[in-house]
Structure 1
Amino acid sequence: MQRLKIVFSGPMGAGKTQAISSLSDIPVVSTEVMNTDLDTNAKLLTTVGMDYGELTVDGGASIGLYGTPGQERFKFIWPILSQGALGVVILIDHSAADPVADLTHYLKIFDDIYDGRIVLGVSQVDKMPERELSIYRDYLAGIGRNLPLFPVDMRKREDVLLLVESIIASLEQSE
């Protein structure tokens, strides 16, 4: 059986743990603890190591789903978790104070690692409906990038599956 790997990353509260939980065929291994940085994000729990789940796709391949911690102080683990991965799903919290700055930050980190195998998922769209999704497309166009970008509800398996399928499709196109 073929074993593959996809990484989910993004700022704290963007939905990485929920995305993996929605998609995983096994109980998710999570390293969530009480959040001690409530000034940055009011969420009660935060990932400090990684989240791990598995998804079996058509053809029997198994995809390991790895979620990075969102807090900057744990960014040393991001390249470690990224080793051997097909690509990264960068999740951006649409309701954050400056989601484009978050996108800029994560693209700078993961561009070198993944050589374009990046898919963007925008979460929490319902919390900030007046903010247009075009801000991400405009930003990407301004830096000469054309990446798959989807508004997603991390609680919906089919939304998260679309992100994974997009990475797989980008690999098939490059072959």
Structure 2
Amino acid sequence: MMDIDYKIVFTGPPGAGKTTAIGALSDTPPVMTDVANNDPGLGKAFTTVGLDYGEVILSETERVRLFGTPGQERFAFMWRILATNALGLIILLDNSRPHPLDELRTYLKAYEGLIGEVACVIGVGRTETHATPSTDEVADELARHGLLCPVLAIDVRRRDDVLLLVDTVLAQVEARYWEMNA
């Protein structure tokens, strides 16, 4: 039986890789609520309509629970529900989409107040084929909103890249703990 659970939420627009990231990292078979996509604007065969869920087992008594939000704005009510009691937030962006910074702004607004209270990292995918916006431009957009979060270029299919996102969240949590208890 697990004694300590950590909760990290993956969020971002449709197609950013939330389901793939959780699947790449989860030590247990992930739970996914994907259905056939009827929106041709999303450009993918399946889309998440509820949540994705996976787990990373740290020890016999500790695990990290990974929750993925649906990306479509019509499911925005789920975003904050899934973020309740989260230790951290991972916002994924897909640089191959037409307006990644506009999509980032959508999620910054949706999680306004929560970002800053919980650890947060931005993962930018498909940078190898779509160089803009750069991670620096994403960081500049965060700064315009008064936010300072790590921004990493990642490939959600690679376990090590997704693990780096989770490690970055956990490092922020640890730093805050030591700062508060110093």
Question: Would you say same fold, with TM above 0.5?
Answer: yes
Kept in 2, the 8 Å contact 1:79–1:113? The answer is no
Per the alignment, residue 158 of structure 2 pairs with: 156
| Amino acid across the alignment from 1:101 | D
Q: 1:58 to 1:152 in 2, by over 3 A?
A: farther
1:25-56 C-alpha deviation (Å, 9 max, x unpaired): 001100000111112x1111000000000001
* Cα distance in 2, alignment partners of residues 157 and 151 from structure 1: 14
Residue 43 of structure 1 aligns with which residue? Answer: 44
Shift of 1:3: 1.0
Structure 1: how far apart are the matches of 2:89 and 2:132?
Answer: 28
Other-structure match for 1:90: 91
2:14 maps to what in 1?
12
Letter in 2 for 1:35: N
Contact 2:101 2:133 in 1 (8 A): no
CA offsets 1:80-131 (integer angstroms, 9 cap, x no match) = 1111110110001111111111111101111323425211000121231365
Is 1:65–2:66 an aligned residue pair? yes
TM-score normalised per structure 2? 0.89
Q: Distance in 2 between matches of 1:58 and 1:149?
A: 28
Unpaired runs of at least 5, structure 1: none
| Partner of residue 111, structure 1 | 112
Query: Aligned-pair distance for 1:60?
Result: 4.6
Task: State the number of aligned residues.
Answer: 174
Q: Distance in 2 between matches of 1:9 and 1:120?
A: 10
1:50–1:130: structure 2 CA closer, same or farther, 3 Å change rule? closer
Alpha-carbon distance between aligned partners in 2 of 1:45 and 1:89, rounded to the nearest angstrom: 21
Mapped partners of 2:4, 2:59: distance in 1: 11
Distance in 2 (CA, whole Å) between partners of 1:135 and 1:116 is 22
Partners of 1:166 and 1:82 lie apart in 2 by 18
User: Which consecutive aligned stretches of 4+ in structure 1 deviate over 2 angstroms post-superposition?
Assistant: 57-60, 129-134, 140-145
Could you tell which deviates more after superposition, 135-144 or 12-21? Answer: 135-144
* Structure 1 counterpart of 2:57: 56
Sequence identity, in percent? 43
| Residue pair 2:89, 2:119 contacting (<8 A) in 1 also | yes
State how far apart, in whole Å, the 1-side matches of 2:149 and 2:132 are: 23
Change beyond 3 A, Cα 1:141–1:113: closer
Distance in 1 separating the partners of 2:66 and 2:56: 7
User: Equivalent residue of 2:52, what SS?
Assistant: strand
